[in-house]
């Protein structure tokens, strides 16, 4: 074997060893980063935010309280101001629990019974939510498919082929403007020219929806959501109400 070939082989072996070493270093760095992140999160969770007569309230306690909020409020709870309010509530809770303990309420049989009832009620509520989430999880593929396909279908269409009159646009704009002013008299309503294209597309889209529905065979059970109240002719009128009606 020539010296040149030996040099090439040794060089290739050296490169291969170097590549393996670099891979090991990268993996080691990744592991260290993940461990560091876990330690950091754990350290943050154990961060003491307040103490009430020596009892610690940690970041984990605060985060647990935020998790217990209804989903629509969790976003607002991320602001420093709201976190401070939640922390104040946790502090007040500890103060009140301490006062209740002083008064012997924690050993009161009636209170203990109510605690068990509340615990059972909360467990049932959580179990119900878990069942609901499991059902949603089972249908997630169907829901994702539906959302993506329908959004793409609508967003890729400009509805230019559907006729919409200026009168229809003005009518819908006036309804929108009136609703805005009713909700907030001081609200600034954008001009018709600014919203005209959006309104046109909205009307055209509704017309398209109705057109598609008209081409499909659709049956609806009209009694599915009917009121359980008896018809007006069967309602009993109290004497006082009869007298009022006669006066009218």
Kindly report, residue by residue over 148-174, the tens digit of the pLDDT.
999 999 988 888 899 999 999 999 999
Distance CA 45, CA 58 (A): 7
The number of angstroms, rounded, from the C-alpha of 115 to the middle of its chain's C-alpha atoms is 30
Nearest-angstrom CA–CA distance, 169 and 194: 12
pLDDT at 100: 92
With tokens 């006066």, the residue in question is 247
Contact, 57 vs 51, CB < 8 A? yes
Q: Which of 215, 212, 72, 221 is nearest to 150 (CA)?
A: 212
**pTM to 2 decimals?**
0.47
Low-confidence stretches of the chain (pLDDT beneath 50) = 1-3, 5, 8-9, 37-41, 233-248
Sign (positive/negative) of CA torsion 35, 36, 37, 38? positive
- The contacts of residue 162 (CB under 8 Å, 6+ apart) are 204, 207, 208
Predicted local confidence at residue 164, as pLDDT: 94
CA distance 116 to 110: 10
Query: DSSP E strands: which ranges in the chain?
Result: 48-52, 55-58
Beta bridge partners of 55: 52
């Amino acid at each position: 074997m020539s010296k040149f070939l030996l040099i090439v082989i040794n060089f290739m072996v050296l490169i291969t060893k170097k590549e393996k070493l670099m891979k090991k270093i990268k993996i080691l760095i990744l592991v260290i980063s993940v461990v560091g992140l876990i330690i950091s999160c754990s350290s943050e969770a154990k961060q003491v935010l307040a103490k009430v007569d020596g009892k610690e309230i940690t970041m984990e306690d605060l985060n647990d309280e935020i998790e217990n909020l209804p989903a629509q409020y969790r976003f607002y709870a991320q602001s420093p101001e709201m976190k401070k309010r939640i922390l104040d509530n946790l502090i007040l809770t500890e103060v009140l629990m301490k006062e209740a303990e002083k008064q012997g309420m924690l050993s009161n049989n009636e209170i203990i019974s109510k605690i068990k009832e509340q615990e059972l009620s909360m467990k049932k509520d959580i179990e119900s939510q878990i069942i609901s989430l499991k059902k949603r999880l089972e249908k997630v593929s169907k829901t994702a498919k539906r959302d993506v396909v329908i959004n793409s279908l609508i967003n890729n269409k400009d509805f230019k082929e559907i006729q919409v009159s200026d009168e229809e646009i003005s009518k819908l704009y006036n309804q929108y403007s009136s609703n805005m002013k009713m909700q907030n008299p001081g609200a600034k309503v954008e001009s018709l020219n600014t919203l005209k294209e959006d309104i046109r597309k909205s009307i055209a889209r509704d017309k398209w929806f109705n057109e598609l529905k008209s081409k499909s065979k659709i049956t609806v059970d009209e009694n599915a959501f009917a009121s359980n109240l008896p018809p007006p002719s069967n309602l009993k009128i109290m004497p006082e109400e009869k007298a009022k009606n006669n006066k009218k």
